[in-house]
């Protein structure tokens, strides 16, 4: 078979047909920050810096995506949430904007995200990636999912308590934020993203049971996938998804990321024709694996997931900076070797 | 002997707690108090037994017990205990003291907040230090309160890197044999080798495990019974790897 471009490879597998080989998505964030040579805060605050490193690493390692992610807390910043920048890891929420009084979130006028510098940089990132790879390499526009965003605005404990004690108020918050996510995602697409990945760790099975997903997440996610003008992948940041997978599929997403602890073979058998599966390399344990274990894990993933297409080999969440590039190179080399379709 | 009424109230309470029916569960506690049942019995035979029951349910039936489900049960237990305290006061027998908090630069408090309730129901005195706790604060609190165990939570790889400083301070104060160090949080669940890299005595994957392992650390000074065979194998692998310098 003639060698495909990364975009052709990914489009083919998403149609549940077999491309030349299994597509490989490598999610790198802190690794890029470390290699960039910039102080982390400066790196994460610049779409140009991030794009440069994403392009450099994709060229060097030759995998099948460009990651349009600045950091996941960015959507909360226009609401006044305070982000902490580390000198050895990804930025994170420091203090949620409505931590002191979650009820105020319902009264607030929706901020215009496009006036926010972090959001502007995120769009610059998509645009810069597109200038390099549009039409050849899929650009993943990454953002926070609908059930996780409230936790960045009021705090996880308070958000869970609200869902438990005040379900109607919680639904109002989801309704309020739904259009915000749709608008941001569509802006990323206009700037160059091909696929939107909504990372919703708090909507994984590790975080919520099926009835909560069905009541709070599914209706909003269904609307979001309809109104976003590109395919949507549901991401869990390493959280398990197996007990919820039918509900996620019914929400209309193109694909679902799996945790290392999800049973890929079972999921492939039951749902492989209904959705695209992305996964499920353990992003943290790999640090301790010798090359022989990396090979075995890659081979297992491909054996269990790759048949008839509809599968992308991916780390379940971004790799830590402590993982040497040589190990990632070995993973990719073996994925190409084992993942070639006959 | 446990009365028929108490058994009936327990069955109703456990059903409401499992199904996250907060208000209904609170009504059962009100009913139990109004029936003039011994508050200590309400605590042991309804609230504490419910958490144990749900732990068994988790072990037997569910691969995944979601953090939301555990939070809901802990909130129900926490508020039920508050009601009881109004009639029985704060007095109860404590089995030991635990210092609990997030390591410095870590702000993910959900897990420790849930765990605090589970530990208190299990009979521990818990000194909760909250998010962003410096290693020396864990040691200071442990010394002041003559603690048995320090429990440190971290949800990020980079913040987990601060935990070995807790061990270093325990060593420096010659407290490592006396005060045990337990860790928890997503990075430890994703990489079972990490527990030894941060030089902890044990790690727990969830609140249920933390309660069980705290008991074992207090009684035997180490974990003697891992909850599953698979986990035991993984632990053994982790410990070997560490000894080999991996």
Q: What is the ipTM of this complex?
A: 0.91
Residue pair A234/A251 in contact by the 8 Å Cβ criterion:
yes
| Cβ-based neighbours of B134, under 8 Å, separated by 6 or more | B104
pLDDT digits (tens, 9 = 90+) for A285-335: 999 999 999 999 999 999 999 999 999 999 999 999 999 999 999 999 999
Nearest-CA neighbor of A237 among A195, A200, A187, A190?
A200
Q: Report percent pLDDT > 90 for chain A.
A: 95
- Among chain A residues, the shortest Cα distance to B106 is held by A94
Residue pair B29/B35 in contact by the 8 Å Cβ criterion:
no
Nearest-CA neighbor of B176 among B152, B148, B203, B153?
B148
Residues 37-56 of B with CB under 8 A from A: none
- Cα→Cα distances B52→B40, B76, B119, Å: 16, 14, 12
Enter the tokens of residue A144. 């926070």
Does any CB of chain A come closer than 8 Å to the CB of residue B92? no
Q: Which residues in chain B touch residue A242, judged by CB atoms under 8 angstroms apart?
A: 63-64
Mean pLDDT, rounded, of chain A: 96
Q: Which residues in chain A touch residue B190, judged by CB atoms under 8 angstroms apart?
A: 238, 260, 282-285
In angstroms and rounded to an integer, the radius of gyration of the C-alpha atoms of chain B is 19
The pLDDT, as a whole number, for residue B243 is 44
Q: Do B64 and A287 touch (CB under 8 A)?
A: no
Among A86-95, A108-117, A149-158, B230-239, the minimum mean pLDDT is found in B230-239
Q: Which residues in chain B touch residue A238, judged by CB atoms under 8 angstroms apart?
A: 186, 190
Whole-number Å distance between alpha carbons of A216 and A209: 11
Q: Do A164 and B108 touch (CB under 8 A)?
A: no
| Cβ-based neighbours of A266, under 8 Å, separated by 6 or more | A242
Q: Which residues in chain B touch residue A164, judged by CB atoms under 8 angstroms apart?
A: 20, 22, 68, 71-72, 75
Whole-number Å distance between alpha carbons of A272 and A245: 11
Q: Is the dihedral of CA A149, A151, A154, A158 positive or negative?
A: positive
User: CA-based angle A269:A274:A280, to the nearest 5?
Assistant: 60
pTM for this entry: 0.93
Does any CB of chain A come closer than 8 Å to the CB of residue B91? no
Q: Which residues in chain A touch residue B67, judged by CB atoms under 8 angstroms apart?
A: 160, 206-208
Does any CB of chain A come closer than 8 Å to the CB of residue B68? yes
Nearest-CA neighbor of A331 among A293, A303, A288, A275?
A293
Does any CB of chain A come closer than 8 Å to the CB of residue B21? no
Long-range contacts of B237-244 (CB under 8 A, 24+ apart): B237/B192, B237/B193, B238/B192, B238/B193, B238/B195, B238/B196, B239/B196, B241/A288, B241/B193, B241/B196, B242/B193, B242/B196, B242/B197
Burial class (CB in 10 A: 0-12, 13-18, 19+), B131: middle
* pLDDT(A92) > 90: yes
For the CA atoms of B64, B65, B67, B71, the dihedral, rounded to the nearest 10 degrees, stands at 180
Edge-to-edge strand ranges of the sheet holding B202-203: B124-133, B96-103, B149-153, B180-184, B202-203
Q: Which residues in chain A touch residue B63, judged by CB atoms under 8 angstroms apart?
A: 240, 242-243
Largest interatomic CA distance in chain B: 61
- Cα→Cα distances A67→A287, A336, B81, B161, Å: 21, 20, 48, 26
Whole-number Å distance between alpha carbons of A47 and A125: 4
Per the document, the length of chain A is: 342
pLDDT 10s per residue in chain B (246 long)? 568 889 999 999 999 998 899 999 999 999 999 998 888 899 999 999 998 877 665 555 445 578 998 899 999 999 999 999 888 777 777 999 999 999 999 999 999 999 999 999 999 999 999 999 999 999 999 999 999 999 999 999 999 999 999 999 999 999 999 999 999 999 998 888 899 999 999 999 888 889 999 999 999 998 888 776 566 666 655 555 444 333
Does any CB of chain A come closer than 8 Å to the CB of residue B97? no
Q: Name the DSSP class of A96.
A: -
Q: How far is A208 from chain B (nearest CA, A)?
A: 5
- Among chain A residues, the shortest Cα distance to B23 is held by A165
Q: Do B64 and A240 touch (CB under 8 A)?
A: yes
Question: Tokens 């390399």 map to which residue?
Answer: A281
Q: Do B107 and A92 touch (CB under 8 A)?
A: yes
Enter the tokens of residue A141. 């526009």
Alpha carbon distance, N-terminus to C-terminus of chain A: 8
The pLDDT, as a whole number, for residue B245 is 37
Q: How far is B214 from chain A (nearest CA, A)?
A: 23
The pLDDT, as a whole number, for residue B28 is 96
- Among chain A residues, the shortest Cα distance to B132 is held by A94
Question: Tokens 């035997």 map to which residue?
Answer: B220
Segment (H or E) for A48: helix A47-61
Whole-number Å distance between alpha carbons of A236 and A63: 21
Q: Which residues in chain B touch residue A320, judged by CB atoms under 8 angstroms apart?
A: 157-158
pLDDT digits (tens, 9 = 90+) for A160-199: 999 999 999 999 999 999 999 999 999 999 999 999 999 9
């Amino acid at each position: 078979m003639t060698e495909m471009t990364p975009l052709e490879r990914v489009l083919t597998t998403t149609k549940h047909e077999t491309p030349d080989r299994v597509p490989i998505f490598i999610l790198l964030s802190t690794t890029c920050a470390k290699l960039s040579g910039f102080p982390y805060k400066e790196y994460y605050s610049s779409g140009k810096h991030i794009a440069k490193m994403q392009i450099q690493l994709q060229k060097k390692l030759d995998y099948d995506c460009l990651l349009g992610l600045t950091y996941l807390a960015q959507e909360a910043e226009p609401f006044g949430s305070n982000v902490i920048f580390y000198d050895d890891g990804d930025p994170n929420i420091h203090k949620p904007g409505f931590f002191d009084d979650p009820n105020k979130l319902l009264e607030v006028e929706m901020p215009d995200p496009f006036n926010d510098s972090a959001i502007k940089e995120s769009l610059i990132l998509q645009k810069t990636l597109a200038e390099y790879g549009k039409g050849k390499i899929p650009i993943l526009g990454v953002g926070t999912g609908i059930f996780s965003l409230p936790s960045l605005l009021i705090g996880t404990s308070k958000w869970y308590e609200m869902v438990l004690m005040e379900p109607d108020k919680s639904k109002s918050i989801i309704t309020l934020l739904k259009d915000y996510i749709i608008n941001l995602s569509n802006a990323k697409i206009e700037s160059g993203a091909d696929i939107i990945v909504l990372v919703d760790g708090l909507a994984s099975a590790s975080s919520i049971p099926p009835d909560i997903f069905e009541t709070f997440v599914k209706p909003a996610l269904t609307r979001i996938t309809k109104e976003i003008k590109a395919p949507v992948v549901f991401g869990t940041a390493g959280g398990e998804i197996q007990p919820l997978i039918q509900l996620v599929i019914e929400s209309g997403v193109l694909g679902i990321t799996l945790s290392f602890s999800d049973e890929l073979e079972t999921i492939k058998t039951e749902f492989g024709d209904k959705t695209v599966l992305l996964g499920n390399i353990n992003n943290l344990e790999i640090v301790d694996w010798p090359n022989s274990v990396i090979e075995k894990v890659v081979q297992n993933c491909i054996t269990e997931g790759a048949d008839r297409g509809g599968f992308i080999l991916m780390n379940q969440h971004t790799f830590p900076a402590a993982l040497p590039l040589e190990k990632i190179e070995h993973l990719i080399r073996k994925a190409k070797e084992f993942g070639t379709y006959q | 002997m446990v009365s028929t009424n108490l058994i009936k109230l327990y069955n109703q309470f456990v059903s409401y707690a499992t199904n996250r029916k907060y208000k209904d569960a609170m009504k059962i506690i009100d009913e139990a108090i109004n029936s003039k049942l011994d508050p200590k019995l309400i605590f042991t035979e309804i609230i504490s037994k419910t958490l144990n029951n749900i732990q068994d349910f988790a072990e037997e039936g569910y691969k995944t017990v979601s953090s939301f489900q555990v939070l809901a049960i802990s909130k129900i237990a926490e508020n039920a205990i508050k009601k009881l305290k109004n009639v029985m006061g704060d007095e109860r027998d404590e089995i030991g003291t635990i210092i609990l908090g997030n390591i410095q630069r870590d702000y993910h408090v959900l897990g420790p907040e849930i765990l605090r309730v589970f530990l208190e129901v299990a009979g521990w005195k818990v000194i909760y230090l909250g998010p962003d706790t410096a290693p020396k604060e864990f040691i200071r609190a442990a010394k002041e309160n003559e603690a048995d165990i320090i429990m440190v939570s971290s949800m990020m790889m980079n913040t987990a890197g601060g935990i070995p400083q807790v061990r270093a301070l325990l060593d420096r104060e010659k407290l490592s044999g006396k005060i045990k160090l337990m860790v928890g949080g997503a990075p430890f669940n994703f990489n079972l080798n990490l527990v030894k890299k941060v030089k902890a005595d044990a790690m727990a994957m969830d609140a249920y495990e933390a309660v069980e392992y705290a008991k074992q650390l207090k009684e035997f000074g180490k974990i003697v019974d891992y909850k599953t065979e698979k986990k035991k194998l993984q632990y053994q692998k982790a410990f070997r790897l560490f000894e080999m310098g991996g």
